[in-house]
Structure 1
Amino acid sequence: MRALWAAICLLAMPAWADSIEPLAGWAVYPSGKSYESLVEDTKAAVKENGLIVVTQAGPTKAAASRGITIPGNRVIGAFNNDYAVRVLETSTNAMIEAPIRFYVTEEKDGTATLSYKTPSFVFAPYTDEGGEALREIAAELDAKFQAVAERAVK
């Protein structure tokens, strides 16, 4: 009976994975903010920097509805129509990557981290087709995504 009770208690504990580690092509911004605050501040910073929140997805609420507690986890896709048109002028294939995503993750200490793959990294596989124009778009988006991240974690 004790083993069963221990197993039930373990299932009720949050499932914490490791923190986001910078991978090649990633930008990672730890913050002192709560998960909920960083999600809202990221969405506001996206708008402030001339982009649009195109998509949002995360397993946290759906898991909770199933009785499973997991850390806050949200993917926020950002782009705008101007960039979409410009990317399509250089490479139809590259548009599969839009919107480019921010990733907000809750840490064990209650703070949250904002991370993303840099747009230049995301579009790199398409630069043979898209050429210098696509590289320039990616560089513009690199600056915008950095500005969003710096504003959001501030």
Structure 2
Amino acid sequence: MRILLIASALFATAAVSSPVERDGWVVMETRYSYQELIDRVKSAARANKMGVVTEAGPTEAAAARGVTIPGNRVIGVYNNIFAVRMLEASESAMIEAPIRFYVTEQEDGTATLSYKTPSFIFSHYALESPEVMRIALDLDPIFESIAKTAAE
């Protein structure tokens, strides 16, 4: 019985579902396909003078093992100007960079874009240095612009 429950739980995690909006998160359903939205996020990041510094996702690796799962990609975005400012404000806070966008493929072929706002992410370091929140508040409209541009 225990094996059946574990197998059921594993199968349920592979089902398509959108991330749930929660405190500090922005979740945007789009009309774009998974790959189109990935490309749009990268393009919007560059247009906002930010760099794509990391990418990760289990979809392609699973496919290489013969396992099919919905498209799932995390795209880390940042800029060295903000990295240097953040390091000067709080070395500890730098572990949160790059800030990630999350692209998830939906059952209908569209993709959802999600991200945590910089002010939410860096709020945990505000007591360490007020400058951390100033930087986060500078980043909030940039990440909002990237998301809106990508999702429009």
TM, length-normalised to structure 2: 0.89
Alignment partner for residue 139 of structure 1, among 132, 137, 140?
Answer: 137
How many aligned positions are there? Answer: 140
* Correspondence list, 1:87-98, <5 A: 87-98=86-97
Q: Distance in 1 between matches of 2:80 and 2:129?
A: 18
Unaligned residue ranges in structure 1 (runs of 5+): 1-10
Partner of 1:150: 148
Partner of 1:84: 83
Shift of 1:89: 1.1
SS of the equivalent of 2:21 reads coil
% of aligned pairs identical?
54
TM, length-normalised to structure 1: 0.88
- Name the larger-Rg structure: 1
Shift of 1:108: 0.8
Provide runs of 4+ in structure 1 moved above 3 Å: none
Asked if the contact 2:99–2:118 (Cα under 8 Å) also holds between the matched residues in 1, the reply is: yes
Shift of 1:18: 2.2
Unaligned residue ranges in structure 2 (runs of 5+): 1-10
Deviations 1:80-109 (A, max 9, x none): 110001011111100000101000000111
SS of the equivalent of 1:55 reads strand
Shift of 1:17: 3.6
Q: Distance in 2 between matches of 1:87 and 1:95?
A: 6
Q: Distance in 1 between matches of 2:17 and 2:30?
A: 16
* Correspondence list, 1:107-122, <5 A: 107-122=106-121
Deviations 1:124-145 (A, max 9, x none): 11011121x2111101111000
Q: Distance in 1 between matches of 2:15 and 2:100?
A: 22
Paired amino acid for 2:139: L
Shift of 1:23: 1.1
